[in-house]
Structure 1
């Protein structure tokens, strides 16, 4: 079983990106488990003073444990003012530590998402890839999915009912699974 941890950069209950995550989970191929980690909203802002064995918050312990148990990570993000949401950047900062021992180090990561604009959040996705790469993840630059016009496109239809989105998400997941296989063979 390939375990993929899904991080969604939106906290809004009706978020299109959360719906895309639900769609990915619902359509996971056989032998693949996708789990959405809902706890990034509970991570305190990264502060090295509390990132110690004696003081690390339980929310961070749970997050790092989820990362540790995953074979790969799928990040699904909206675009906030042309970049990644603060909550996602904060999660990446926590994932990057402790230095030299982070649970995201070398882990295959794909970044996708949707936004209202005409480019589907590509700026946010590029910024997330950059931050994740610096954090030590094995960012899959060839796996991309940016869905533009989300507010209009999904006004009357859930992404799970959009055949094109379902097919594209399947390609993303299959690509992540292939990267896990490549990483394990190395």
Structure 2
């Protein structure tokens, strides 16, 4: 069975190490898993119930919801901004949590990973992302974590896919997420 994993990256910066980590996940996905990195989170307007009205939902939000609806699982890459989740990622979760109780993440396996400059690799932000995704209805896999500290130094000259330790850890994350998605689909 083929499993579609939608990757959401919480950094919009062109040289983002989290974006590079997501690109590595695409390359390292096991057979039967397809990781697709969603482009366009920066185009999605801030969530506002006044514009979340059938027939007038902004096109960027519709595109996000459609991609999420087609996914079997989510792999979220979160840097840490001021000790918490980036606004663009929280906004995506807000859009995907609606309509309440029936959003595109409901019941689907979710893993949150990432890298950050600090010594803990963004764990506070990743924990906040797990919390928000769980409240939105995602089936957060709490023991599936990867927080890579010191991103600016570690990836200054090496893409994450070429870092053997990171590649091995990320491969395991994607494989386990793939397995969880397969279990949900079979149930």
Same-fold status (TM-score > 0.5): yes
CA distance in 2, matches of 1:42, 1:127: 22
Partner SS state of residue 118, structure 1: coil
Instruction: Give unmatched runs, 5+ long, in structure 2.
Output: none
Taking the TM superposition and a 5 Å limit, the aligned residue runs for 1:86-125 are: 86-125=87-126
Runs of at least 4 residues off by over 6 Å: none
CA distance in 2, matches of 1:21, 1:136: 23
What is the deviation of 1:100? 2.4
What is the deviation of 1:175? 0.9
Q: Deviations over 1:73-92 (max 9, x none)?
A: 00001000000000000000
What is the deviation of 1:185? 2.8
Partner SS state of residue 143, structure 2: coil
Taking the TM superposition and a 5 Å limit, the aligned residue runs for 1:1-186 are: 1-186=2-187
Partner SS state of residue 21, structure 2: helix
| TM score, norm. by length of structure 1 | 0.98
Contact 2:3-2:182 at 8 Å conserved across structures: no
| TM score, norm. by length of structure 2 | 0.97
Instruction: Give unmatched runs, 5+ long, in structure 1.
Output: none
CA distance in 2, matches of 1:144, 1:101: 26
CA distance in 2, matches of 1:15, 1:179: 28
| Count of paired positions | 186
